[in-house]
Amino acid sequence: MINVKLKDGSSKQYEPGITILDVAKDISEGLARNTCAGLLNGEVVDIRTPLNDDCELNILTFDSPEGKRAFRHTASHILAQAVKRLFPETKLAIGPSTDEGFYYDFDREPFTLDELSEIEKEMKKVVKENIKIERFELPRTEAINLMEEANEPYKVELINDLPENSIISFYKQGDFTDLCAGPHLTSTKLVKAFKLTSVAGAYWRGNEKNKMLTRIYGTAFTKNDDLKEYLERIEEAKKRDHRKLGKELGLFTFMDEGPGFPFFLPKGMVLKNTLINFWREIHEKEGYVEISTPMMLSQKLWETSGHWGHYKNNMYTTTIDNEDFAIKPMNCPGGLLVYKSTQHSYRDLPIRMGELGVVHRHEKSGQLHGLMRVRCFTQDDAHIFMTPEQIKDEIKGVVKIIDEVYTLFGFKYHVELSTRPEDSMGSDEDWELATNGLKDALDDMGMEYIINEGDGAFYGPKIDFHLEDCLGRTWQCGTIQLDFQLPLRFETEYVGADNERHRPIMIHRVVFGSIERFIGILTEHFAGNFPTWLAPVQATVLPISEKYHDYAQKVIDALKENKIRVSNDFRAEKIGYKIREARLQRIPYLLIVGEKEAESGEVNIKSRGKDLGSLKTSDFIDKIKTEIENKA
């Protein structure tokens, strides 16, 4: 007998060879019906996997991220089977699950909308047929022969890239067989709620030198109600698309002369500068000093920092006076040079240096996406130099700032701790010390966090803050990286209480991450209806006719004197038209003035579609100033 320890801490005994699905059935038939995969000794495996030794087992349903992936991976195979039935000449590439659904890449001309509808109908037939999904393995040579006979060259290429002694796994559902590591469900009938959402182009293996394939995206859920809710959320997201709103609201644009390089328009600059002023306000309060370092520095510096060896392909380079230079992709090396420019004592530490540095990174054209993925952005960096004893308090201080900012905008967030990646520098001891430093700080604060193995920076582990917007989407913005490596490589020092020289420890951290990207997130989160303190135009004055232009101008002047950002509409248009136009611009307050208002010294106020009645102009000014000052 073997002992199987379950997630709740209980243990069960079984005969060796029992599968994960059978364990689920033993617990309850309901659990078995909903089982998507298993977590066996920390590794995600197929539910057909036999248990031969004592183990720890977590049975995964659709409620878990891993269960969702297995469920949606099965949906991608149903998609591929439907495509092969309808268009048998199509060649298969890959079809993984994603955070939001699944996709499959096909070697074929792009599918039309009518063809996409046909494919979806055929998928429903595959589901209705209740086809059993079976897993089998073959030695490498037999696996290649199988895929060559099926005339699937992309699958052959994938197998050829595997080690010589590999045992290759396949999944079969009726007349369809696919090369796949799994895991998968047991039958096609389990995937009832699905939708194909779009078609796009994708290079084979993500390399622009390879052939362009056709990618079909879709999503799948266990319930139709959940699918419906998701699709409604996607439609709402389209309405909130920051690229669309950025154009409509006159915030920013992109031009062919600078792909991936955003152009901020006057209103967008007001929004950007307001965020920057807020950033400066909270950092000054928390004891930060601000610096500015050059945008371009010599190759030798980037070799010292390690970026030349680890990040060169993402850097823009040039030659000046026969010496190679690079435009900075990160601010940290410049911050280290500033630290080194002065001698420091332990009494000076911690030193908190903030920098709103413009950085450039070479992103592939296919990866560019509005403000979310650009080639040039403003990083709200700060670098903290400290003693080992100050690590916990400094991390707590950074978390306090990040929490203050995200809470202000109404974001929920979760925390991930990312550990050492394969491509890293530094000793095992340093990495262990740095990782434990972050863990201890989070534990000390009682914060829940997820361990994200192998996703740290090449110079140190990090804490990432993933904020959640009003549509439930998550965005990675804030980060705290603990670094023992760069202070060592730059030979930075401070004089300790023992009069000896010591190496400071360095924190890299951002709050917004990229100010441009944060503006994109805020635009979608608020659907362009920015809080009054942040709105590029906070109020607009709308006279009902030309007779009241003089009074309207007095109101405008009073608002401007109180530093309220105000616009006007003096066009010879009907007041209803002016109101509709102002609402489309998402201006928080519309101040309508006519005969009654001119006589009483008032303004009639409309805000966010609500009629707030009339107020004395001075009372309205007091109201909006309080709202702005409180960042309500």
pLDDT tens-digit series, residues 124-155:
999 999 999 999 999 999 999 999 999 999 99
Checking if the pLDDT of 311 tops 90, the result is: no
Is 570 part of a structural domain of the chain?
yes
Query: Which H or E run includes 288?
Result: none
Query: Which H or E run includes 229?
Result: helix 224-240
How far apart CA 346 and CA 349 sit, in angstroms, is: 5
**Burial bucket for residue 165 (CB in 10 Å: 0-12, 13-18, 19+):** exposed
Domain that holds residue 491: 264-294+328-525
Could you please report the per-residue DSSP string of 428-455? Answer: HHHHHHHHHHHHHHHHHHT---EEETT-
Task: Judge if 506 and 595 occupy the same domain.
Answer: no
- pLDDT recorded at residue 434: 83
Is 548 part of a structural domain of the chain?
yes
- pLDDT recorded at residue 32: 93
pLDDT class of 626 with cuts at 50, 70, 90: very high
How far apart CA 25 and CA 278 sit, in angstroms, is: 56
- pLDDT recorded at residue 492: 96
- pLDDT recorded at residue 207: 84
How far apart CA 608 and CA 542 sit, in angstroms, is: 15
Domain count of the fold of the chain: 4
What whole-number percentage of the chain has pLDDT above 70? Answer: 100
**Residue 153 preceded by cis peptide, ω within 30:** no
Checking if the pLDDT of 458 tops 80, the result is: no
Q: How many CA atoms lie within 13 A of 128 on its CB side?
A: 7
Q: With beta carbons less than 8 A apart as the criterion, state whether 506 and 512 touch.
A: no
Mean pLDDT of the 267-286 span: 97
Checking if the pLDDT of 630 tops 80, the result is: yes
Task: Judge if 355 and 478 occupy the same domain.
Answer: yes
Determine the 3-state secondary structure of 592 from DSSP.
Answer: strand
Determine the 3-state secondary structure of 576 from DSSP.
Answer: helix
Q: With beta carbons less than 8 A apart as the criterion, state whether 39 and 58 touch.
A: yes
Task: Judge if 605 and 481 occupy the same domain.
Answer: no
- pLDDT recorded at residue 406: 93
- pLDDT recorded at residue 456: 87
Task: Judge if 73 and 57 occupy the same domain.
Answer: no
Task: Judge if 347 and 477 occupy the same domain.
Answer: yes
How far apart CA 521 and CA 466 sit, in angstroms, is: 12
Q: Pairing between strand 289-290 and 296-298? A: unpaired
Task: Judge if 499 and 556 occupy the same domain.
Answer: no
pLDDT class of 569 with cuts at 50, 70, 90: very high
Could you please report the per-residue DSSP string of 362-416? Answer: ---GGG-BTTTB-SEEEEEEEEEEE-GGGHHHHHHHHHHHHHHHHHHTT-EEEEE
Checking if the pLDDT of 424 tops 90, the result is: no
pLDDT class of 299 with cuts at 50, 70, 90: very high
Task: Judge if 519 and 551 occupy the same domain.
Answer: no
**CATH code of the domain containing 623:** 3.40.50.800
Q: Which residues of 27-64 are buried (b: 16+ CB within 10 A; e: fewer)?
A: eeeeebebbbbbbbeeebbbbbbebeeeeebbbbbbeb
How far apart CA 98 and CA 100 sit, in angstroms, is: 5
Number of other CB atoms surrounding residue 185 within 10 Å = 24
Phi, psi of 427 (to 5 degrees): -85, 160
- pLDDT recorded at residue 165: 83
Checking if the pLDDT of 421 tops 80, the result is: yes
- pLDDT recorded at residue 213: 96
Is 257 part of a structural domain of the chain?
no
Task: Judge if 44 and 127 occupy the same domain.
Answer: no
- Domain C-terminal end among 23, 43, 61: 61
Q: Which residues of 332-362 are buried (b: 16+ CB within 10 A; e: fewer)?
A: bbbbbbbbeeeebebeebbbbbbbbbebbbe
Is 255 part of a structural domain of the chain?
no
Q: Pairing between strand 212-221 and 193-203? A: antiparallel
- pLDDT recorded at residue 266: 97
Q: Pairing between strand 566-568 and 539-543? A: parallel
Checking if the pLDDT of 244 tops 80, the result is: yes
Is 583 part of a structural domain of the chain?
yes
Q: Pairing between strand 252-253 and 289-290? A: unpaired
Q: What is the mean pLDDT of the chain?
A: 94
Checking if the pLDDT of 352 tops 80, the result is: yes
**CATH code of the domain containing 207:** 3.30.980.10
What whole-number percentage of the chain has pLDDT above 90? Answer: 85
Number of other CB atoms surrounding residue 503 within 10 Å = 15
pLDDT class of 427 with cuts at 50, 70, 90: confident
pLDDT class of 441 with cuts at 50, 70, 90: confident
- How far, in Å, are 368, 523, 601 from residue 253 at the CA level? 14, 14, 40
Q: What digits encode the pLDDT tens for the residues 497-547?
A: 999 999 999 999 999 999 999 999 999 999 999 999 999 999 999 999 999
Task: Judge if 373 and 357 occupy the same domain.
Answer: yes
- pLDDT recorded at residue 428: 86
Checking if the pLDDT of 226 tops 80, the result is: yes
Is 151 part of a structural domain of the chain?
yes
Mean pLDDT of the 99-106 span: 95
CA torsion sign, 531 to 537 to 541 to 545? Answer: negative
Checking if the pLDDT of 470 tops 90, the result is: no
- pLDDT recorded at residue 616: 96
Checking if the pLDDT of 459 tops 80, the result is: no
Is 499 part of a structural domain of the chain?
yes
- pLDDT recorded at residue 134: 96
- pLDDT recorded at residue 457: 81
- pLDDT recorded at residue 558: 97
Per DSSP (E only), the strands in 284-375 are: 289-290, 296-298, 317-320, 323-327, 351-360
Both tokens assigned to 254: 């992109």
**CATH code of the domain containing 362:** 3.30.930.10
How far apart CA 76 and CA 103 sit, in angstroms, is: 6
Task: Judge if 106 and 224 occupy the same domain.
Answer: yes
Q: In terms of Cα–Cα distance, which of 416, 425, 428, 418 is closest to 458?
A: 425
Residue type, 348: D
Q: With beta carbons less than 8 A apart as the criterion, state whether 538 and 563 touch.
A: no
**CATH code of the domain containing 19:** 3.10.20.30
Mean pLDDT of the 248-253 span: 97
Number of other CB atoms surrounding residue 104 within 10 Å = 24
Ramachandran region, residue 452 (left: φ > 0; alpha: ψ -120 to 50; beta: rest): beta
Active-site residues: which are they?
332, 361, 379, 381, 383, 462, 508
pLDDT class of 562 with cuts at 50, 70, 90: very high
Q: With beta carbons less than 8 A apart as the criterion, state whether 568 and 537 touch.
A: no
Q: What is the DSSP letter of 499?
A: S
Residues in the chain: 632
How far apart CA 36 and CA 172 sit, in angstroms, is: 17
Number of other CB atoms surrounding residue 69 within 10 Å = 21
Task: Judge if 372 and 398 occupy the same domain.
Answer: yes
Q: Write the CB contacts of 304 (distance below 8 Å, at least 6 apart in sequence).
A: 333, 489, 490
Task: Judge if 349 and 288 occupy the same domain.
Answer: yes
Q: What is the DSSP letter of 605?
A: E
**Burial bucket for residue 226 (CB in 10 Å: 0-12, 13-18, 19+):** middle
Is 256 part of a structural domain of the chain?
no
Checking if the pLDDT of 629 tops 80, the result is: yes
Both tokens assigned to 594: 């006519």
CA torsion sign, 401 to 402 to 405 to 410? Answer: negative
Q: With beta carbons less than 8 A apart as the criterion, state whether 515 and 356 touch.
A: yes
How far apart CA 447 and CA 403 sit, in angstroms, is: 12
